[in-house]
Amino acid sequence: MRKRIWFNRTFATAYPIVEMIRNNPDNFTFEIYVTHPKRHSVMLQIADYAELEPTLDVPEYIDYCLSFCKKHRIDVFLPNYRLVEISRHIKEFERQGTQVMIAQEHQLLEDISDKGKLFQLFQDVPEVPIPAYAIVNTAEQFQIAYEQLKQDGNKVCFKPARGEGGAGFYIVEEQLDPIDRLFRSTHQQITIEEVVRTLSTRETFEDIMVMEYLDSYEYSIDCLAYEGQLLAAVPRKKVEGRIRELEDNDELLRIAEAVQQRLQLSYLFNVQIKYKEGIPKLLEINPRASGGMYISCRSGVNFPYLALKLLLTGKADVPVPKLDILMTHVERERDLTRIL
């Protein structure tokens, strides 16, 4: 088998993912195409074909993706950037002969990407606890939600209802020592007075999720699924710094199974969980490979290759993950020999 695979704009941590796809046990040959808007991206270095990706509005970007696939006769497109928007156009890619690795149909991906709608999907799923939260879009609503959460004994945080990772995340404090905040704080902290004052400068704003702050360990559960079945799940604990533990945790494995039963995802997805007072609570679900998935592959499950094989052939032998592994990662140097 020889196939052309395209990675559009993605994380530098996809570098080892490309290596795992190339070094597959079946000796299938994959020609790797990569595009990225940053000319020094390390992803451009690992590609067989690399191209600078233009910065475009959504409709123009979709046209660019379709044109790229047609021009280069791409067999499989693994989208990261604009994944949800691309999912609306799957049939157009398929008509050109390109399969797109997408976890579910467009509307569900839209709902998953909105944390408020995501939490609603699990309101009646006891196996997946969700934090206390409120969705607000005015300063007055924010103040009311904050006071209610505080009254219930919670520390409060907030973040955009739509967004990835920690962008826009803040912990709300009654007051902060300016010197400590300037020189010693390791978290994004803000006072309630500052939040309300800032939000009050606009009548309305995009939805914000105000929620209880979860103060214990965080986990990413990397998952592989196909045709309604969860084939592998690896809970990856953020111990400290760069230390990670692939943990044999039945509680988290049950959460992964419950997520799959509700959403019926395919290929790769990631469940973000954080504990509070011994209870694991849902943070978000990413319907794609996570940035740290390559670490979970130390379990013996080659997540990216197996997902690709399932897409192309409909079958794959998935090993039982080896867990209870404590590990870290180190930097690797790489000469930038291809500057576009």
Phi, psi values for residue 159, rounded to 5°: -160, 160
> Is-contact 287 103, C-beta < 8 A?
yes
| Angle CA 129–298–6, to nearest 5 | 90
Q: Which pTM does this prediction carry?
A: 0.94
Residue 151's region, left for phi above 0, alpha for psi from -120 to 50, else beta, is alpha
At 60, the amino acid letter reads: E
pLDDT over 70 (residue 185): no
What rounded mean pLDDT belongs to the chain? Answer: 95
Cα 178 to Cα 42, 191, 197: the distances in Å are 39, 11, 17
Q: What is the pLDDT of residue 193?
A: 94
Same topology between domain 2-101 and domain 109-126+215-327 = no
First to last CA, the chain: 30
* Residue 68 confidence class, pLDDT cut points 50, 70, 90: very high
- On the 0-12 / 13-18 / 19+ scale of CB atoms within 10 A, 57 is exposed
* Rounded mean pLDDT, 118-133: 97
How many CB atoms are located within 10 Å of the residue 128 CB?
24
* Measured distance CA(168)–CA(153) in Å, rounded: 23
* Measured distance CA(236)–CA(296) in Å, rounded: 7
Please give the residue that has the higher pLDDT: either 285 or 178. Answer: 285
* Rounded mean pLDDT, 114-128: 96
* Residue 186 confidence class, pLDDT cut points 50, 70, 90: low
Q: What is the pLDDT of residue 183?
A: 75
* Rounded mean pLDDT, 153-171: 89
Q: Residue 98's closest CA among 224, 226, 1, 4?
A: 4
Q: Which residues fall within 8 angstroms of residue 152, CB to CB, at 6 or more apart?
A: 132, 212
Which residues on adjacent β-strands are paired with residue 240?
Answer: 243
* Residue 165 confidence class, pLDDT cut points 50, 70, 90: low
Q: Which fold would CATH assign to domain 109-126+215-327? A: D-amino Acid Aminotransferase; Chain A, domain 1 (3.30.470)
Give the residue extent of every domain in the chain.
2-101, 109-126+215-327, 133-212
Q: Could you tell me which CATH number the domain at 2-101 has?
A: 3.40.50.20
* Rounded mean pLDDT, 312-335: 93
Write out pLDDT tens, residues 226-285. Answer: 999 999 999 999 999 999 999 999 999 999 999 999 999 999 999 999 999 999 999 999
Q: What is the pLDDT of residue 236?
A: 98
Angle of helix 139-151 relative to helix 192-199, nearest 10 degrees?
A: 160
Residue 247's region, left for phi above 0, alpha for psi from -120 to 50, else beta, is beta
